[in-house]
Amino acid sequence: MQVSGQKIIVLATGGTIAGTATTPGDNIGYTAAQVGVNQLLAAVPGLYAAAGGSLQAEQVAQLDSKDMDFDVLAALARRCATALADPGVRAIVITHGTDTLEETAWFLHTVLCAQKPVVLTCAMRPATALAPDGPQNLLDAIAVATAEGARGVVVVAAGVVHGAQRVQKVHPYRVDAFSSGDAGPLGWVEEGRVRLVQDWPAVLVDQAPFAIEKIASRTNWPWVELVVSHAGASGALVDALVRDGVRGIVAAATGNGTLHHALEAALLRAQSAGVRVVRSTRCPQGQVLPRPGDAIPDSGGLSPVKARISMVLDLLG
């Protein structure tokens, strides 16, 4: 139950959950980020009651999450940090597009001291759909935000609670589009109640204040790119990136971190030139198992896109 007198802050960033289409039956030809947060919340019966009658809504951004960038991430993180430090705030709920939700979740997990719950939610269908999934996801997010002992950055979608480290979007269309791979979900929301099967995420207490300070007024973010190893891959793209001044490269490798020999040679050249290089795997489950003497370090279990987020933050110092 919600602690008396405390409010839940809803920070909106746009996405499909706020999208509209010209016809109600159109679930793919919509325009994302059209509905304002107050209108979005008002359309969900019982939402304010589930939150204990105290919701504060703010429009931090209004974009399709495919267009998310580090400036918006930093603004969102700063607002979250302020809210988390407010004793009058019980929890934060963030509405977000599905495409880059996993990256935002990992960014916030890394830079926030989230002793209170920070709950990201989303939708695969626009607000104008015949059967939109956004309203139920919002109700489920409130259930997680008010759950006893809840903490950390989590994602709630289709009744499933995911941790920020493992969650991935694994389907381009279906409502249940997210998975935590072989790690499994943290739990489920069932009729407004949270059933956990794993503990809430660990909170990074020590580094958070320094991280927020580092990103607070950042205008130039370290340039980090992703490259993919595949049949017939070459090193030309890597060589071009190095010539243009890239700071870091994350390689989405095949299998257990294996790389096409031409791509690997280029990555080693980049590493010798002072570019940060890390390997992850294209595989949606599991993680790279390092071997003694690996010339290119692995991502420590992070997916390629999350490894990129971490590298950007690492390069900030």
Determine phi and psi for 3, rounding to 5 degrees: -65, 135
Rounded CA separation 126/57 (Å): 20
Rounded CA separation 152/164 (Å): 9
Alpha helices in the chain, H assignment, sequence order: 37-42, 47-50, 70-84, 101-111, 134-145, 208-215, 236-243, 261-272, 304-315
pTM for the predicted model, two decimal places: 0.96
Question: Could you report the per-residue pLDDT of 57-93, keeping only the tens digit for each?
Answer: 999 999 999 999 999 999 999 999 999 999 999 999 9
The predicted structure's pLDDT at residue 115: 96
Nearest Cα neighbor of 312 from 24, 107, 99 is: 107
**Dihedral angle of Cα 68, 153, 309, 177, to the nearest 10 degrees:** -60
User: Looking at the predicted structure, is the pLDDT value of residue 11 above 50?
Assistant: yes
The predicted structure's pLDDT at residue 217: 76
Question: Could you report the per-residue pLDDT of 296-310, keeping only the tens digit for each?
Answer: 999 999 999 999 999
The predicted structure's pLDDT at residue 3: 45
**Dihedral angle of Cα 156, 162, 168, 174, to the nearest 10 degrees:** -40
Place of tokens 């960033």: 13
Share of the chain above pLDDT 70, in %: 97
Tally of CA atoms within 13 A in the half-sphere of 71 that contains its CB:
5
Rounded CA separation 117/70 (Å): 22
User: Looking at the predicted structure, is the pLDDT value of residue 30 above 50?
Assistant: yes
* Angle (deg, nearest 10), helices 208-215 and 101-111: 120
Tell me the pLDDT band of 208, cut-offs 50, 70 and 90. low
**Dihedral angle of Cα 26, 29, 35, 37, to the nearest 10 degrees:** 90
Which residues lie closer than 8 Å to 193 by C-beta, 6 or more apart? Answer: 143
The predicted structure's pLDDT at residue 218: 84
Tell me the pLDDT band of 2, cut-offs 50, 70 and 90. very low
The predicted structure's pLDDT at residue 4: 47
Out of 100-114, 214-228, 248-262, pick the least confident.
214-228
Which residues lie closer than 8 Å to 258 by C-beta, 6 or more apart? Answer: 229
Catalytic residue among 13, 16, 121, 146: 16
Cα 196 to its chain centre, rounded Å, is: 20
Out of 50-54, 118-122, 155-159, pick the least confident.
50-54
User: Looking at the predicted structure, is the pLDDT value of residue 220 above 60?
Assistant: yes
Three-class DSSP category at 82: helix
The predicted structure's pLDDT at residue 5: 54
Rounded CA separation 9/128 (Å): 24
The predicted structure's pLDDT at residue 213: 83
Beta strands in 96-190 (DSSP E): 117-121, 152-157, 160-163, 168-169, 178-179, 187-190
The predicted structure's pLDDT at residue 209: 66
Tally of CA atoms within 13 A in the half-sphere of 253 that contains its CB:
30
Q: Residue 305 has which token pair?
A: 């896109």
Question: Could you report the per-residue pLDDT of 95-150, keeping only the tens digit for each?
Answer: 999 999 999 999 999 999 999 999 999 999 999 999 999 999 999 999 999 999 99
Question: Could you report the per-residue pLDDT of 228-238, keeping only the tens digit for each?
Answer: 999 999 999 99
Question: Could you report the per-residue pLDDT of 174-198, keeping only the tens digit for each?
Answer: 999 999 999 999 999 999 999 999 9
Three-class DSSP category at 156: strand
Whether 254 is a known active-site residue: answer: no
1 or 216, higher pLDDT: 216
Rounded CA separation 75/230 (Å): 36
